[in-house]
Structure 1
Amino acid sequence: MSAGPLAGIRILEVGHMLAGPYATMVLADLGAEVTKIEPPGGDISRQVGDAYFASLNRGKRSVCLDLNSEAGRERLGELVAESHALLVNLKPSAIRRLGLTYEDLRRWNERIVCVALTGFGMDAGDDPAFDYVVQASTGVASLTGDPDGPPTLPGYSSADNSSGLTAAIGLLAQIVSGRGGQVEVSLRDVMLSQLNYRASAYLNEGTEPRRLPNGAHSYYVPAQLFPTAEGHLALFVTHDGFWRSFAAEAGIEGFTTMAERAARREEVLDVVTKALATDTAASWEARLRPSGVPAAAVRTLPEALEATPEMVVEAGGFRLVGGSVRVSGHEPDYRPPPRLGEHGGLPSGKDAA
C-alpha cells in the first residue's frame, strides 16, 4: 500500500469541538500530519467523553501551548515555519487576538495557508454560532419536519460537519495554488449554499419554501418516506424510467410523466401509499432493488452499522466510523487520538522550550 495522497503535508489545528477538528481529521485520514494545538486545559471536547473526542481527533498529534503567552506564540511561529496550513475554528475576535491570521503569521512562513472557520465570517462579529443556531438562522430548521408540526433539526451536526468538509476543500485548494494566504469559511455561508435549488426557486421564481409531509421533495413525486405494512420506506423517484419500473412492481397504472405526477401530487401519493401498505419496508427494498429504483427501508444507526461492518474501524481501542474517501492503493492508518500535550508542551500550562 502507498502512503496517503496527503503524505508530507503538515497541518496545524487550533479549535474546539467539531467543525475544525472534523476537517483536519478527514485530512489526517488521507495521510496529512495534523498537529492539534491545545490550550493548557485541552480541547473542551475532551470533557464530553473519550469516545466523542476520538471520533473527531484520531490520528493527530497534540502540542499543548498557551497562546496567550509570548512563549506560546513563539513556539506556534516555529511550528508555522515548517507547516503548510493552519486551520482555526474560533470566534473572530479570538483569532485576531491570538494572532492566527495570515497577516500575523506570514513573517514565519510566506506560503502558510491560514483557514478561519467561523460562524458568520471574520467581519461579522462574535455572535454565538453553534450548529443548531446556524441551522435555525439560515432557514434549514424551517424546512425540516412536517408542515403541521414545529420546525425541527437533523439528528446530527449537519452544519458543523458540512462546514468542516468545506474548510478542508478550501485549505487544499490554496495549498494546490502554491501560494500562502487567508481562506475564510463560515457555517452560515455553507448552509445557505447547501440550500441551492431551494434558494434558486425563491430568488428566480418567487417560490416560497415550504415543508411537505413525510419529508417530501419539492420537485419530485413520489420522493419521500412512506409507511408500509412494517416500517417506513424511503422512495425517491426522480424520472419517468424509475416510475415505470416502480409502477410495474407495485401494480399502479397512469401518471406516466414527471409533470403529471407533480400536478397530481396528492393522487399519486394516495395510490402509492395504498400500494406500499401491502408489504413490509424491507420486502419493498428487496423487490425494487433489481430494477434500480431508489428505495431503502428506514434503519436505525445500529442497524446501519451492522449492515456495513467494513465502515467500522479500530483506532487505539476505540471503534469508530472510518473515512469516507477511498483512494486506490491507500489504506488509512487509523491511529489513536492523542493525549493532551503528548507531542510537546505541558498540560500544566508551561510551554515547551
Structure 2
Amino acid sequence: MSAGPLAGIRVLEVGHILAGPYATMMLADLGAEVTKIEPPGGDLSRQVSDAYFASLNRGKRSVRLDLTAPDGQARLGEMAADAHALLVNLKPSAIHRFGLTYEALRRHNERLVCVALTGFGLHAGDHPAFDYVVQAATGVAALTGDPSGPPTLPGYSSADNSAGLTAALGLLAQIVSGRGGQVEVSLRDVMLSQLNYRASAFLNEGAEPRRLPFGAHSYYVPAQLFPTADGHLALFITHDGFWKAFCAETGVQGFATMAERVARREEVLAVVTDVLATDTAARWEARLRPLGIPAAAVRTLPEALLAAPDVIVKAGEYRLVGSPIRVAGYEPRYGPPPRLGEHGDPASTPPVA
C-alpha cells in the first residue's frame, strides 16, 4: 500500500468540539500528521464522552500548551515554524488574543497556512455560533420540517460538519498554491452557500422559499418521503426516464413530463401516495432500485450501519465510521485518539524556581 496522499503534511489544530477537529481528522485519515494543541484542561469534547472525542480525533497527536503563558507562546512559535498549516476553531477574540493568525505567526514561517474557522467571520465579533444557532440564523431551520409545524433541525450537526469539510478544502487549496497566508471559513457563509439553488431562486426570481410536506423538493415531482404499508420511502424522480420506469412498475399512468408533474403536483402526489400504500417501504426499495429508480426505505442509523459494515473501522479500542474518501492503493491507518498531552505536556511541567 502507498503512503497517504497527504503524507509529510504537518497540520496543527487549536479548537474544541466538532467543526475544526472534524476538518483535521479528515486530513489525518489521508495521511497528514495532525497535532492537537490543547489547553491545560483539554478539548471540551473530552468532557462529553470518550466515544464522542474518538469520533473526531482518531489518529492525531496531542500536545498540551497554555497559550496564555509566555512559555506556551514560545512553543507555539516553534511548532508553527515546522508546520504546513494551522487550523483554529475558536471565537475571533481568542484567535487574535492567542496570536493564532498568519500576521502573528508569519515571522516563524512565511509559508504557514492559517485557517480561521469561526461562526460569522474572523472580524465579525464573538456572537454565539453553535451549530443549531447558525442553522436558525441562515434559514436552514425555517426550510426544514412540515409546513404546518414548527421549524426543525436535522438530527446531527450539519453546520459544523459542513464547515469542517470546507475548512479542510480551503487549507489544502492554500497549501497547493505554495504560499502562506490567512484563510477564513465561517459557519454562516458555508450554510448560505449550501442553500445554493434556494438562494438563487430568491435572488434572481424573487421566489420565496417554502417548506413542503414530507421534505418535498422544490423543483422535482415526485421527490420526497412517502408513507407506505410499512415505513416510509424516499422517492426521487428527477427526470422523465425515471418516471417512465416507475410507471411501468406501478401501473401509474399520465403526467409524462416533469413540467406537467410540477404543474399538477398535488394530483401526482395523490396518485403516487395511493400506489405506494399497497406495499412496504422495504419491498418498494427492492422492486424499484433494480430498475435504476432512486428509492430507499427510511432506515434508522443502527439499521444503516448494519447495512454498510464496510464503512466501520477500528481506531484503537473504538469502532468508528471511516473516511468517506477512498484513494486507490491507499488504506488509512486509523490510530486511536490521543491521550491529553500524550505527545508533549509542557502545561503540566512545574516552573523552574
Q: Does TM, normalized by the shorter one, top 0.5?
A: yes
Counterparts of 1:54 and 1:346, CA distance in 2: 23
Give, in angstroms, the shift of residue 350 of structure 1: 5.1
Partner SS, residue 63 of structure 1: strand
Counterparts of 1:347 and 1:28, CA distance in 2: 24
Residue 184 of structure 1: aligned partner: 184
Residue 296 of structure 1: aligned partner: 296
Partner SS, residue 67 of structure 2: coil
Identity of aligned residues (%): 80
Counterparts of 1:225 and 1:58, CA distance in 2: 35
Counterparts of 1:351 and 1:20, CA distance in 2: 31
Give, in angstroms, the shift of residue 290 of structure 1: 1.3
1:283 and 2:280 correspond: no
Residue 203 of structure 1: aligned partner: 203
Counterparts of 2:216 and 2:133, CA distance in 1: 24
Residue 324 of structure 2: aligned partner: 324
Counterparts of 1:161 and 1:348, CA distance in 2: 32
1:206-238 Cα offsets, whole Å, 9 max, x none, are 000000000000000000000000100000000
Counterparts of 2:14 and 2:78, CA distance in 1: 15
Q: CA 1:350 to 1:9, structure 2 compared with 1: closer, same or farther past 3 Å?
A: farther
Residue 69 of structure 2: aligned partner: 69
Counterparts of 2:43 and 2:116, CA distance in 1: 17
Counterparts of 2:306 and 2:35, CA distance in 1: 33
Q: CA RMSD in A?
A: 1.0
Partner SS, residue 12 of structure 1: strand
Residue 310 of structure 1: aligned partner: 310
Contact 1:63 1:345 in 2 (8 A): yes
Contact 1:233 1:297 in 2 (8 A): yes
1:344 and 2:344 correspond: yes
Q: CA 1:197 to 1:214, structure 2 compared with 1: closer, same or farther past 3 Å?
A: same
Counterparts of 1:126 and 1:247, CA distance in 2: 54
Residue 151 of structure 2: aligned partner: 151
Counterparts of 1:158 and 1:148, CA distance in 2: 23
Give, in angstroms, the shift of residue 105 of structure 1: 0.2
Counterparts of 2:250 and 2:140, CA distance in 1: 34
Partner SS, residue 320 of structure 1: strand
Counterparts of 1:231 and 1:2, CA distance in 2: 44
Residue 164 of structure 1: aligned partner: 164
Partner SS, residue 225 of structure 1: strand
Give, in angstroms, the shift of residue 348 of structure 1: 3.1
Residue 10 of structure 1: aligned partner: 10
What letter corresponds to residue 299 of structure 1 in structure 2? Answer: R
1:271 and 2:281 correspond: no
Give, in angstroms, the shift of residue 123 of structure 1: 1.4
Counterparts of 2:88 and 2:350, CA distance in 1: 22
Partner SS, residue 348 of structure 2: coil
What letter corresponds to residue 258 of structure 2 in structure 1? Answer: M
Counterparts of 1:347 and 1:228, CA distance in 2: 59
Contact 1:71 1:351 in 2 (8 A): no
Counterparts of 2:18 and 2:181, CA distance in 1: 24
Q: CA 1:351 to 1:335, structure 2 compared with 1: closer, same or farther past 3 Å?
A: farther
Q: How many residues align?
A: 352
Contact 1:345 1:351 in 2 (8 A): no
Counterparts of 2:216 and 2:247, CA distance in 1: 18
Counterparts of 1:76 and 1:123, CA distance in 2: 22
In the TM superposition, 1:45-124 aligns within 5 A as 45-124=45-124
Please list every run of 5 or more consecutive structure 1 residues that lacks an aligned counterpart in the other structure.
none
**TM-score normalised by L of structure 1:** 0.99
Residue 25 of structure 2: aligned partner: 25
Counterparts of 1:349 and 1:308, CA distance in 2: 46
Counterparts of 2:346 and 2:42, CA distance in 1: 10
Please list every run of 5 or more consecutive structure 2 residues that lacks an aligned counterpart in the other structure.
none
Contact 2:66 2:347 in 1 (8 A): no
Contact 1:236 1:295 in 2 (8 A): yes
In the TM superposition, 1:218-229 aligns within 5 A as 218-229=218-229
Q: CA 1:109 to 1:246, structure 2 compared with 1: closer, same or farther past 3 Å?
A: same
What letter corresponds to residue 340 of structure 2 in structure 1? Answer: L
What letter corresponds to residue 2 of structure 1 in structure 2? Answer: S
**TM-score normalised by L of structure 2:** 0.99
Counterparts of 1:111 and 1:213, CA distance in 2: 51
Give, in angstroms, the shift of residue 346 of structure 1: 4.3
Give, in angstroms, the shift of residue 345 of structure 1: 1.5
Runs (4+) off by over 6 Å: none
Contact 1:65 1:349 in 2 (8 A): no
Counterparts of 2:163 and 2:245, CA distance in 1: 38
Counterparts of 2:88 and 2:289, CA distance in 1: 44
Q: CA 1:349 to 1:202, structure 2 compared with 1: closer, same or farther past 3 Å?
A: farther
Contact 2:38 2:62 in 1 (8 A): yes
Contact 1:88 1:100 in 2 (8 A): yes
In the TM superposition, 1:132-147 aligns within 5 A as 132-147=132-147
Residue 217 of structure 2: aligned partner: 217
Give, in angstroms, the shift of residue 291 of structure 1: 1.1
Counterparts of 1:58 and 1:319, CA distance in 2: 11
